[in-house]
Structure 1
Amino acid sequence: MSDVRVGEIAVGMSADVERGDGGDLAAELDRMERLGVDIVEIPLLGLDVMTRARLLAGPMGRLVEACSGRPFALSVHAAIGLNFFNAPEHLPLHFDVLRASLDVAARIGARHVVMHTGFCPGDAADIEDRYARQREWFARAAVEAAARDCVICVENVFPFGTGVHTASPARLAAEIAAIDDPHLRATHDVSHGYLHAGACGGDAFAEALALSAVAAHVHLHDSFGVPGETFWAYTEAEKMHFGLGDLHLPLGWGDIPFDRLMGEARYPQGCVFMIELPNRFVGEAAQTLAQARRLARIARER
């Protein structure tokens, strides 16, 4: 299995699988080989590899087999339901699921494990307590990541519906800096940051620059930064027509100023640039990969 050396510009794409048993994963990774990506993100959130934080031998064996011998590096995206803003009694289980995800990463030779930052009701009276608990659990998780030679990359998100609180990109950057552990970094999802600003206000560009400084991983996909709850639309295509929500569009189909951002961002050396493109846009994959490589070069040459 390939690896990404520090200082290289690694540009890749997330795998899109529909079968929980991973039966379509090998074909998807074959497609990634043909595209010529440097790294592929494996979506654990769509694979039946564990039950209540216990890895399953059969599914794990098939995952290892599908990933072995590939010419690209790997990362993994852990469950979106991982949430250290959750009620305290649930947090040990969330930690166990994250630790099991780190075990999966170690088994397939993936260095980065992506997870989302916490979210909770916006009217919760104990939001700062939830941030404190999240910092404690993240610090523990960083120790587990170090033991497996992995880096947990915490991704900025946007409110999943009205009345939801989650960290802005700048707040997430401050939380990660406060923990100050090289095995806990950020995933800067550029579009998610614009959606957060669209939902909550703030300067999307300044927020993006703040998070870039602590990022080891970047998610690239386009949108218009307009919350999906602005008004109702029926199909995914209709949402595109109106420019609503987390569209995961090919680069250039939305209005995010990627060139300006990459020209001013402070991404550390070794940061990975990962395209998140659903299979409905498979016909745009090669062009989007070329665009992502161009943007990554701008970020490196600034």
Structure 2
Amino acid sequence: MIFGSVGTNLNGGSLAGEGFLGALRRLAGSGADFVEVGPHELGAMLGGELVPERVRSLERALSGAGVVYTVHAPHAINLMDPEDPAAHLDMLRASVRFAGRIGAPVVVCHAGRREPHHARWRPAERLAREAAALREVGRLAEELGVTIAVENSYPEPPVVAGRASAPAARPSALAERVAGVDHPAVRACLDVGHAAVSATLLGYDLLEECAVLGPLTAHVHLHDNLGRPEPRPGMSLPERLASGFGDLHLPPGRGTIPLQRLLAESGLPEGVSCCVELAPGFEEAVPEALSEARRLGAAAVVAGG
């Protein structure tokens, strides 16, 4: 079994109607080893700082839900942002502190990118800034027993249209960045769904690219899609599911990603954590998806020799 633990995510769809404690208990009962939570989605962060009273309340609630956790930092974090880098650094630092408070061993953080509104953009300078920020927060993470897992980018519609750039959409580029940070508490998160869509857009070999990032990976986001880049912004999830475009977050096996071969050839270290990251609406599929992830993890060890 290549995965040391297999969990799933707590998303907005999970929270609708039953409250987050009910959702956590349901996910724990579905066989998840852990649940991935976002401090920003739980009201624990304001202006890049943790909200003390909310965090105390969450500590009590989360500890009583019968499950362990990983953390997903705010999606808005962009450590390459040239306009307000301190705000992004603060959000990551707060996410790591939140992980320390709830005993989460991993914090997932999206890799830096150029947004459409970034007028001043010097790539080498911004990459150096991202590396410095990750080293800085990496020291805090190491003190708290947390690993920061930097995630390969999803090519959002502005990237598809050429109005933005996401260099870490190519897993080998992220591998180079993580290796350059050279800190034991900073590793990679391999998001196989992001990589599949990016492979179509950028024309790279999915398996070869993932094999470059695999050895640096501490955490995997496992889900499925059809490998079709999203042509325009603003498409709802039902529209994207109907058309097959974009980052669909399907249960493993419902899309076209060659997951078993990808995992077998990825060079992932044994014992990495795996979050089966599903879109809202797939709550009933969680037990089946967790079981499939474990099957894939076991098959990857056999196939990889």
Normalised to the residue count of structure 1, the TM-score between the two structures is 0.90
Kindly tell me: are residues 188 and 199 of structure 1, through their superposed partners in 2, closer, same or farther at Cα, counting changes over 3 Å?
Answer: same
Q: Which runs of structure 1 show a deviation greater than 3 angstroms over 4 or more consecutive aligned residues?
A: 17-23, 69-72, 121-125, 231-235
Do the aligned residues in 1 keep the contact of 2:31 with 2:287 (CA within 8 Å)? no
**Residue deviations 1:255-296, cap 9 Å, x none?**
000011122121113200110112301121111111001111
- Counterpart of 1:4 in structure 2 is none
The 1:22–1:135 alpha-carbon spacing in structure 2 relative to 1, beyond 3 Å, is farther
Q: Given residue 211 of structure 2, which amino acid in structure 1 is its aligned partner?
A: L
State the Cα deviation string for residues 167-219 of structure 1 (Å, max 9, x = none): 11110011111222220000100010111222222222211111111000000
1:97 correspondence with 2:99: no
Match of 2:191 in 1: 189
1:37 aligned to 12, 20, 32, which one? 32
Aligned residues: percent identity?
33
Quote the residue 1:241 is aligned against. 242
Residue 57 (1) aligns with residue 52 (2): yes
Tell me the equivalent position of 1:120. 114
Q: AA paired with 1:24?
A: G
Q: Does the 8 A contact of 1:40 with 1:75 survive in 2? A: yes
Q: Which residue of 1 aligns with 2:104?
A: 110
Cα–Cα, structure 1 residues 203 and 90, in superposed 2: closer, same or farther, change >3 Å?
same
Deviation track 1:199-241 (CA, whole Å, cap 9, x = no partner) reads 2222222111111110000001111111111x68954223222
1:262 match: 263
Distance in 1 of aligned mates of 2:210 and 2:122: 26
- CA distance in 1 between partners of 2:121 and 2:91 (Å): 27
1:117 and 1:97 mapped to 2: Cα distance?
14
Q: Which residue of 2 aligns with 1:295?
A: 296
| Comparing 50-59 and 140-149, the one that deviates more | 50-59
d(CA) in 2 for partners of 1:107, 1:156: 26
Measured in 1, the distance between the counterparts of 2:26 and 2:51 equals 26
The answer to whether the aligner puts 1:150 opposite 2:146 as a matched pair is: yes
Shift in CA distance, 21/111, structure 1 to aligned 2, threshold 3 Å: farther
Is 1:130 aligned with 2:131?
no
- The structural deviation recorded for 1:69 is 3.7
Are the aligned partners of 1:17 and 1:28 in contact in 2 as well (CA < 8 Å)? Answer: no
CA contact 1:155–1:187 (8 Å) conserved in 2: yes
Instruction: Summarize the alignment of residues 4-83 of structure 1 with structure 2, pairs less than 5 Å apart.
Output: 9-17=4-12, 24-83=19-78
Deviations 1:68-93 (A, max 9, x none): 04443311001011101101x51122
| Secondary structure of the structure 2 residue equivalent to 1:120 | coil
Distance 1:235 1:169, change over 3 A: same
> Which residue number corresponds to residue 165 of structure 1?
165
Q: Under a length normalisation based on structure 2, what TM-score does the superposition of the two structures give? A: 0.89
Structure 2 CA distance for aligned equivalents of residues 121 and 142 of structure 1: 25
Q: Kindly provide the amino acid, as one letter, of the partner of residue 77 in structure 1.
A: H
Q: Are residues 12 and 268 of structure 1, via their aligned partners in 2, closer, same or farther at CA, if it must alter by over 3 Å? A: same
When the two chains are superposed, the root-mean-square deviation of aligned CA atoms in Å is 2.4
Structure 1: gaps (5+ residues): 1-6
In 1, Cα distance between equivalents of 2:18 and 2:140: 30
Partner-residue secondary structure (3-state), 1:280: coil
Alignment partner for residue 201 of structure 1, among 180, 200, 203?
203
Q: Which residue of 1 aligns with 2:230?
A: 228
Match of 1:213, SS state, is helix
Q: Are residues 128 and 56 of structure 1, via their aligned partners in 2, closer, same or farther at CA, if it must alter by over 3 Å?
A: same
The one-letter code matched in structure 2 to 1:58 is E
1:222–1:255 Cα contact (<8 Å) kept: yes
Stretch of structure 1 that moved more, 11-20 or 38-47: 11-20
**Residue identity opposite 1:225 in structure 2:** G
**Using CA pairs below 8 Å that are at least 6 residues apart, which structure has the higher relative contact order?**
2
- Unaligned segments of structure 2, at least 5 residues: none
